Structure formats: structure tokens, C-alpha cells
Amino acid sequence: MTNADRTHTPVPEELNRITDQIIGAAIEVHRRLGPGLLESIYEKALIYEMGLRGLRVQSQVPVRVRYKDIEIEGQRVDLLVERDVIVELKAVDRLLSIHEAQLLSYLKSAE
């Protein structure tokens, strides 16, 4: 299947508004703090910055993984914004495929 064959559902305007504010908040935090700090520092600063922008943020939200007939807890989403957007923080030089796999597993579990 090529990209031209795929159909995409338009992103609701409200989600675009939320993600624009999240990106703006992340840029502000990075601009002020710069690189090299612990992920937990960026998390607290980002929660604060998003709160200033009127966004509701939950941190360290448990994610349940279904295995056969049980649900297993243990993974956590760094931030859940407005109950619609997952923000996974990484304080690394570059993103690796394992980071992408982690986020995709959260999305799959959230279905």
C-alpha cells in the first residue's frame, strides 16, 4: 500500500489546538532550561508550563497491558494532556527505535 492509497481521518481542530499548546510549552521549557537535565526536571517544568496555558495534565498515568484474560500494570505514560494526548518525555541525544516502539505500545494499550 502506498501513501496515496491510505485515507487519513482529519485531526479535530480541538486536538490541533491542544498539540499546538503542548509544542509551545515544550519549546518554552527547552528554551529556558536547555539540554542536559534529568527527565524528571523537564517533566515538572512542562507540567507547570502547560498549566499556565490552561491545559489539564496528568502525570505518570498507569497503562494496563492485556495478556490473555488478565490486565497487567507496570508501564506509565509520562503525561496525559486533556485526556486525549500522550506526551512521552525523553532526555536523550537522539530517539531510538525502542523509544518509538514504547510509544506505539502505549497507543495500542489505550485503544
pLDDT for 64 = 85
Contact 82, 55 (CB under 8 A): yes
Domain-located, residue 5: no
- Average pLDDT over the chain, rounded to whole? 89
Cell numbers of 25, please?
Answer: 510549552
Domain-located, residue 24: yes
The letter for the amino acid at 36 is: G
Edge-to-edge strand ranges of the sheet holding 57-67:
57-67, 70-81, 85-87
CA distance 6 to 16: 21
pLDDT for 93 = 82
pLDDT for 58 = 97
Angle at 54 between CA 29 and CA 14, to 5 degrees: 100
The percentage of residues in the chain with a pLDDT greater than 70, rounded to a whole number, is 93
For residue 74, CA distances in Å to 35, 78, 106 come to 28, 13, 12
CA distance 85 to 16: 10
How many domains, in total, are found in the chain?
A: 1
- Tens of pLDDT along 2-34? 555 567 788 899 999 999 999 999 999 999 999
pTM: 0.79
Place of cell 525502542: 98
Domain-located, residue 3: no
Write out the residue range of the structural domain in which residue 63 sits: 11-109
Cell numbers of 12, please?
Answer: 479535530
Domain-located, residue 22: yes
